[in-house]
Structures are given as C-alpha cells and as structure tokens.
Amino acid sequence: MEKREEEMILSLVDQVPELGGLYAEHQDLKKQLDTLNHKHHLTPDEELEKKRIQKLKLAGKDRIMAILAAHRGDTAKPVQQAATR
C-alpha cells in the first residue's frame, strides 16, 4: 500500500470504523506473510497457509480501496480493451 493511501486510511478511521479493522487486519496478514517469506523452505501446509493469507490480504485490500474510492468520489470504470488487428 502506498504512503498516501495509508495516510488517507488513517484520516478516515474515525468516519469509517470498518476501515480501521480492515487496515489492522491487512497489517497483521502482511506480518504473517513476511514471516513465511523469510523461511528457506515451506512445508506443504505452510504453502497452503501462505496462499490463504495472500487471498485474505488481497480481498481486504480490495475492500479498503473500494472504501477509499467512495470517499474520493471515484467510480469504477470498466477497462477498455484495445482492438486487435
């Protein structure tokens, strides 16, 4: 997450309580991933746990970004594909 996004999250925590929980969870999941990433070898169970944590972290970040976008007044715009020749 970029510094400006983190600053915006911290400024909105009082207005959007869900944001504080999501941000705390995101930081916790990041620490768990860092721990797993520093291991030289992961067991199959650790690999599964790593994938589970990555998915949770991504889902949480998506929710955080949606909240930030709503507070910035952004709307989701569909991605236009370039025409193939």
Q: How much of the chain is helix, strand and coil, in % rounded to 5?
A: 70, 0, 30
How much is the pLDDT for 57? 97
Q: What are phi and psi of 43, to 5 degrees?
A: -70, 165
How much is the pLDDT for 51? 98
pTM above 0.85, yes or no: no
How much is the pLDDT for 61? 94
Q: For 2-55, what is each residue's pLDDT tens digit?
A: 888 888 898 898 888 899 999 999 999 999 999 999 999 999 999 999 999 999
- Whether the per-residue pLDDT at 84 is higher than 50: the answer is no
Q: Domain limits of the chain? A: 3-72
How much is the pLDDT for 19? 92
Lowest mean pLDDT among 10-14, 39-43, 63-67, 81-85: 81-85
